[in-house]
Amino acid sequence: MKRVIEKLVNHLGLPGDATEDAILEKMQGLPGLTAVADLQNSLKQAQDERTALQAELKGAEDDLVNRHLAEFEGVISSESREFWAGQLLENREGALVALREFAQAKTEGRGARDEGGEEKQARRPLHNRATARPVPPGQGGASPSTGSGSADGRAVKIRNRAHEIAKAEGVAFSAAFRRAEKEVIG
């Protein structure tokens, strides 16, 4: 019993030689069992309210994201829908700016095509291959008098053989070129 009293005195923060009256007085200041139960109940209620508010907030966020996704349905493809949903949750302002710019660019591009009639025309490539003319064999720019014509012919054979080796065996072009060089030159 003496050990129980020593632990109680230590727990109450009293000196070891405290009297019974000091111990009883200190125990009167402790909350009762009903006060502890009330605190536990109010804590449980606050936690339940917090969980309900979190669920409500999550639902409101999902509704807002779905509304924005529906607003930009013409800009967002089905493949990128999950990506944009994540972006709207993480950085709503930045994602909305980007989506508005995409939507504006898409509507401006479509309006220009409708007015100008460019949509019916075929798109022209960026490079100008329309003016390219093939060079007939034997007119590769080397004159027979300089003696480089046969060297050009060998170079073409090496290059063509290197392409064949690289394609057939799946090796790098540089390795195929060295092998073709050995084959053609001898």
What tokens appear for 28 in the block? 């009167």
d(CA 167, CA 171): 7
- Percent above pLDDT 70 for the chain: 80
67 pLDDT higher than 80? yes
Q: Give buried/exposed letters for 125-148 (b at 16+ CB in 10 A, else e).
A: eeeeeeeeeeeeeeeeeeeeeeee
The Cα–Cα gap between 76 and 131 comes to 40
Cα-Cα end-to-end distance for the chain: 108
Average pLDDT over residues 117-138: 65
CB 148 within 8 A of CB 167: no
Q: Give residue-wise pLDDT tens across range 36-46.
A: 788 889 999 99
Pair of tokens at residue 68:
């924005």
CB of 119 closer than 8 Å to CB of 91: no
Nearest C-alpha neighbor of 155 from the set 169, 140, 170, 143: 140
Range with the poorest average pLDDT among 17-21, 28-32, 161-165: 28-32
